[in-house]
Amino acid sequence: MSDSPLPIAAAGSPAAGGQYLSFRLADEEYGLDILGVREIRGWQRVTRIPRSPPFVLGVLNLRGAVVPVMDLRLRFGLPQVEYTVTTVTIVVAVEDRLFGVVVDAVSDVLDVAGDAVRPAPDFGAAVDTAYIKGLTSQGERMVMLLDAARLLATDEWAATEAALIAVDAEAA
pTM metric for this prediction: 0.79
The side-by-side arrangement of strands in the sheet containing 105-112 is 105-112, 18-25, 28-33, 141-146, 132-138
The fold adopted by the segment(s) 18-171 is: OB fold (Dihydrolipoamide Acetyltransferase, E2P) (2.40.50)
Closest CA to 32 of 148, 136, 152, 139: 148
pLDDT score at 2: 38
Helices (H), the chain: 72-75, 148-152, 155-171
Q: Render pLDDT for 39-88 as a digit per residue (tens, 0 to 9).
A: 999 999 999 988 888 899 999 999 988 999 999 999 888 999 999 999 99
Structure confidence by residue, pLDDT tens digits, 96-147: 889 999 999 999 999 999 888 888 776 655 456 678 888 998 888 899 999 9
Give the number of other CB atoms < 10 A from CB of residue 86: 12
